[in-house]
Structure 1
Amino acid sequence: MSRNRKAGTVTIIPDLCIIDIAEEGKGVGKADELVVFVEKAVPGDVVDVRVVKKKKNFAEAVIEQLHKKSELRTDPFCQHFGTCGGCKWQHMEYDAQLKFKSKNVEAALQRLAKIDTTGMEPILGSAANKYYRNKLEYTFSNKRWLNKADMDERSAAPDADSPELEMNALGFHVPLRFDKILDIQHCYLQAEPSNTIRNELRDYALKAGLSFYDLRNHEGSLRNLIIRTSSTGEVMVAVVFAYVEQDQINGLMAHLKSRFPEITSLLYIVNQKKNDTIFDQEVRTYAGRDHIFEEMEGLKFKIGAKSFYQTNSDQAYELYKITKEFAGFSGDELVYDLYTGAGTIANFVARSVKQVIGIEYVPTAIEDAQFNSALNGIDNTLFYAGDMKDILTREFITEHGKPDVVITDPPRAGMHVDVVERLLEMEAEKIVYVSCNAATQARDLALLKEKYEVLRIKPVDMFPHTQHVENVVLLKFKGQQIKDL
Structure 2
Amino acid sequence: MGRRQSHKGVEVVGVSTSRQPGERTCPHFGHCGGCHWQDVPYAEQLRRKEEYVRRVFGEAGIELPECFPILASPSSFAYRNKMEFTAVPDAEQGLRLGLHRRGRFDEVIDIVECWLPPPLANELVEVVRSVARRRGIRAYDYQRHSGFFRNLVLRYATPPDQWMVLVVTTTPTADEEVSFLEEIAELLPQRFPEVRTVGHVINDTWSPVSVGQLRILAGDGVIEQGFGGLRFRISPFAFFQVNWTQFESFFGRIRELASPRSTDVVWDLYCGAGSIALVLARWVSQVYGVELVEAAIEDARVNAMLNGITNVTWHVADLHRPSGKAVLERLPAPDLIVLDPPRAGVHWRLLQFLCEHPAERMLYVSCNPVTQARDLKRLLTVYRLQCLQPVDLFPQTPHVECIALLQRRD
TM-score, scaled to structure 2: 0.93
In the aligned structure 1, how far is the partner of 2:368 from the partner of 2:387? 17
User: Displacement of 1:76 after TM fit?
Assistant: 4.8
- How far apart are 1:119 and its partner, in Å? 2.3
1:478 aligns with 2:393: no
Between 370-379 and 115-124, the greater mean CA deviation after superposition = 115-124
1:370-412 CA deviation, whole Å, 9 max, x = no partner?
A: 1111111111111111211336756434422111000101111
Are the structure 2 counterparts of residues 27 and 103 from structure 1 closer, same or farther at C-alpha, using a change threshold of 3 Å?
closer
- The amino acid that maps onto 2:119 is E
Match for residue 103 of structure 1 among 51, 63, 75: 51
In structure 2, the residue matched to 1:337 is 268
Matched, 1:121 2:121: no
For 1:197 and 1:391, the matched residues in 2 are separated by 45
TM-aligned CA deviation for residue 118 of structure 1? 5.3
Correspondent of 1:132 among 76, 79, 85? 79
- Whole-angstrom distance in 2 between the partners of 1:422 and 1:444: 13
Larger Rg: 1 or 2?
Answer: 1
Offset of residue 202 of structure 1: 0.6
Partner of 1:195: 122
Summarize the Cα distance change of 1:210–1:374 in structure 2 as closer, same or farther, 3 Å threshold: same
Matched residue, 2:242: 311
Question: Of 224, 241, 248, which aligns to 2:169?
Answer: 241
- Relative to structure 1, is the Cα distance of residues 287 and 391 closer, same or farther in structure 2, using a 3 angstrom cutoff? farther
| Counterpart selection for 2:100 from 173, 179, 189 | 173
Q: Any conservation in 2 of the 1:268–1:283 contact (CA below 8 Å)? A: yes
Q: Distance in 1 between matches of 2:328 and 2:148?
A: 49
Matches within 5 A, 1:334-483: 334-390=265-321, 395-479=326-410
Asked whether the 8 Å contact 1:457–1:474 carries over to 2, the reply is yes
Tell me the equivalent position of 1:147: none
Deviation of the 1:74 alpha carbon: 6.2
Higher relative contact order, chain-length normalized (CA < 8 Å, sep 6+): 2
**Separation in 2, partners of 1:260, 1:215:** 31
Separation in 2, partners of 1:247, 1:201 = 13
**Is residue 94–residue 133 contact of structure 2 (8 Å, CA) maintained in 1?**
no
Structure 2 counterparts to residues 247-326 of structure 1, below 5 A: 247-279=179-211, 281-326=212-257
Structure 1, residues 152-211: CA drift from partner, whole Å, max 9, x if none? xxxxxxxxxxxx743520001224433321100000011132110101111111112111
- Give the direction of change, closer, same or farther, for the CA distance of 1:391–1:384 in structure 2 (3 Å limit): farther
1:417-471: CA deviations, max 9, x gaps? Answer: 1111111111100011111011100001111111111001110000101000001
Q: Which residue of 2 aligns with 1:224?
A: 151
Matched with 2:32 is: 84
Residue 116 of structure 1, CA deviation: 1.8
Q: Give the 3-state SS of the residue equivalent to 2:195 in structure 1.
A: coil
Counterparts in 2 of 1:28 and 1:367: CA distance versus 1, 3 Å: closer
Verify the 8 A CA contact 1:82 1:88 in the aligned structure 2.
yes
Aligned residues: 404
Deviation at 1:25, TM superposition (A): 7.0
Post-superposition shift, 1:272?
Answer: 1.6
Say which SS state the counterpart of residue 178 (structure 1) adopts. Answer: coil
Q: How far apart, in 1, do the equivalents of 2:396 and 2:225 lie?
A: 25
Give me the TM-score of the superposition, normalised by structure 1. 0.79
The answer to whether the 8 A contact 2:318-2:324 is kept is: no
Query: Cα distance, 1:270 vs. partner?
Result: 2.2
Q: Give the aligned residue type for 1:216.
A: Q
Contact 2:291–2:316 under 8 Å retained in 1: yes
Q: Deviations over 1:310-360 (max 9, x none)?
A: 111221332211111111112110100011111111011101111111111
Task: Quote the Cα distance in structure 1 between the aligned partners of 2:52 and 2:202.
Answer: 42
Name the SS of the counterpart of 1:472 in structure 2. strand
1:109 deviation in Å? 1.0
Q: Distance in 2 between matches of 1:105 and 1:26?
A: 11
Q: Distance in 1 between matches of 2:137 and 2:26?
A: 29
Deviation at 1:260, TM superposition (A): 2.5
SS in structure 1 at match of 2:107 = strand
Distance 1:98 1:432, change over 3 A: same
Please state how far the C-alpha of 1:98 moved relative to its aligned partner. Answer: 0.4
CA spacing shift, 1:178–1:22, aligned 2, 3 Å: closer
| Contact 1:74–1:91, Cα closer than 8 Å, also in 2 | no
**Structure 1 pair 463–218 and aligned structure 2 pair: CA distance change class (3 A):** same
Contact 2:132 2:180 in 1 (8 A): no
CA distance in 1, matches of 2:261, 2:285: 9
The farther-off stretch of 372-381 and 211-220 is: 211-220
CA distance in 2, matches of 1:27, 1:297: 34
How well do the aligned residues superpose, as a CA RMSD in angstroms? 2.2
Contact persistence 1:230–1:292 (CA under 8 A): yes
Q: Give the counterpart letter for 1:41 in structure 2.
A: S
* Amino acid in the other structure paired with 2:116: L
Output the amino acid matched with 1:209. G
